[in-house]
Structure 1
Amino acid sequence: MYLVMFRLDPGEYDSKFHELNDAIQEASEDTEGYLGKRTWHAPESEEILVVYYWESLDALESFGADADHKRAKQRWTEWYDAYEVTVTEIIETYGSGFADDADPPM
């Protein structure tokens, strides 16, 4: 399993952002191997962390080829003050107490 962390400092969102964001989310959900996502908001700043779960690197690369995703990446300076993407392979995950809220989200 792969985890993609998208850390961002939001700027100004316009209607084109929302349109592309919705299209990208739909494309990710339609990509075979997409397992879900979680979003966190930092309480001390406007920073947001979105974590996407992927079954394989091939699935992630397939999503990366989406035309709307590519277009949004080219326009990031219009909507974000800063961003960072980290791709990590999950070796193991364990814990207790989250029940239906365990990772990856389904």
Structure 2
Amino acid sequence: MYLVTFRLDPGEYNEEFHELNDAIQAAAEDTDGYRGKRTWHTPESEEVLVAYYWESLDALETFGAYAEHKEAKQRWTEWYDAYEVTVTEVIESYGSGFGDDADPPA
């Protein structure tokens, strides 16, 4: 499994951003191998962290080829003040107490 963390400092969002963002999320959900996402907001700043779960690098690469995703990557300065993406291979994941919200998402 692979975990992609998208850390961002949001700027100004407009209607075009929301339409593109919705299209990207739909594309992710339509990609075989997409397992879900979790989002956290930093209470002391505007910073947001989104963790996306993927079954394989092939699935992630398929998603990365979507036109909407490529467009958003080219236009990031219109909507974000800063961003960082980290791709990590998950070797093991375990825990207890989160019930249906346990990572990774089903």
In which range does the TM-score fall when normalised by the shorter chain? over 0.9
Q: What do you get for the CA RMSD once the two structures are aligned?
A: 0.5
Q: Stretches of 4+ moved more than 3 A in 1?
A: none
> Are 1:4 and 2:4 counterparts?
yes
In structure 1, the gaps of 5 or more residues are none
For residues 1-106 of structure 1, the aligned pairs below 5 Å read 1-106=1-106
Mapped to 1, the partners of 2:15 and 2:96 lie a distance apart of 41
One-letter code aligned to 2:14: D
One-letter code aligned to 1:11: G
TM-score after normalising by structure 2:
0.99
Query: Deviations for 1:50-98, whole angstroms, at most 9, x for unmatched residues?
Result: 0000000000000000000000100000000000000000000111111
TM-score after normalising by structure 1:
0.99
Percent of aligned pairs with the same residue? 82
- What SS does the corresponding residue of 1:12 show, helix, strand or coil? coil
Matched length:
106
One-letter code aligned to 2:98: F
